[in-house]
Amino acid sequence: MIEVEDLLFHYRDGVELFRDFSFRVNRGEAWTIIGPSGCGKSTLLFLFAGLNKPVRGKIMVGGRRITRARPSTGLVLQDHGLLPWATVENNTRLGLKVRKFYGPDGKHSPAGMQLNEDEDDKRVNHWLSWLGIDNLREMYPSQLSRGQRQRAAIARTLVLQPDLLLMDEPFSALDAPIREELQKVMNSFHLQSGLTSVTVTHDIEEAVVLGEKILVLHDPCNCQPVIRENHLSGNIDKRNSPEFIDRCEELRDILGSGSGTGRAGGPVFP
């Protein structure tokens, strides 16, 4: 689904975040990305989304090289990005309205997309109900809790039926009980849909809960991907189990040691 090949990326200051960096995300997998601040977590996600461009190398999504934002990719940000003057329902319909305006041009909307207002209504109603905010559809973002706003942002993304879901620390600003509730929601969604997803997080426990594979990044430059297989994904109720605690400690050790920053080729698996 996502192929990263010999990626080189740096900002104008010239400090490299990625050099000769290569790995692959297969279709239907759920990945999480962790690492210290400034190591390139969000940068890599925005490269997948087509919002950043490599200095060298290439990124392929769905067999096509990414050169701009891709209409079949869904992106959920930490700050929700809801229009403050629009209701929950109208925020959820925003992407559908954009697609209707441009039509199936392959840039703003997927090529070959069929416009069907009845189907759009069904999807809007489904996701508002599934995410537990159907009763809030006439309310405005200022009237919602942070968790409710994040649910609305997720609904707005999922009604577009993306084939790739990218999330940038979507639950970091939420209190622990709400964060865990939304983690359960996204685990359930992945099990039902099999959608390919990549979630950036600074929380090690969240990385273990959400990621079937965990990519560990380091500072200052990532040359060799450090990837951990994780069969504990989706087992949020096992947070206190010895196995879950051991996996979290393993990831802390990797982050603390800075392993994986060498130039040797190929990902490091357990």
| Of 14-18, 108-112, 155-159, minimum mean pLDDT range | 108-112
pLDDT of residue 17: 94
Asked if 188 and 155 touch (Cβ cutoff 8 Å), the reply is: no
Contact residues for 245 (Cβ-Cβ < 8 A; gap 6+): none
pLDDT band at 256 (very low <50, low <70, confident <90, very high): confident
Asked if 84 and 141 touch (Cβ cutoff 8 Å), the reply is: yes
Mean pLDDT across the stretch 169-182?
Answer: 84
pLDDT band at 259 (very low <50, low <70, confident <90, very high): low
Would you give the distance in Å from CA 175 to the centre of its chain? 20
pLDDT of residue 207: 94
For 41-165, where are the alpha helices, taking DSSP H only? 41-49, 88-92, 94-102, 117-130, 146-158
pLDDT band at 270 (very low <50, low <70, confident <90, very high): low
What sign for the dihedral angle of Cα 109, 110, 114, 117? negative
Q: Hey, what amino acid is at 119?
A: E
Average pLDDT, the chain: 88
Question: Is pLDDT above 60 for 263?
Answer: no
Percent of the chain clearing pLDDT 70 (strictly above): 95
Question: Is pLDDT above 50 for 264?
Answer: no
Question: Is pLDDT above 60 for 260?
Answer: no
Q: Which two tokens stand for residue 261?
A: 């920053």
Q: What is the CA radius of gyration of the chain?
A: 19
| CATH class of the domain defined by 2-27+38-220 | alpha beta
Residue range 185-241, pLDDT digits in tens: 888 888 888 899 999 999 999 999 999 999 999 987 999 999 999 998 887 677 788
| Of 8-12, 24-28, 151-155, 265-269, minimum mean pLDDT range | 265-269
Residue extents of the structural domains in the chain: 2-27+38-220
pLDDT band at 34 (very low <50, low <70, confident <90, very high): very high
pTM summary value: 0.89
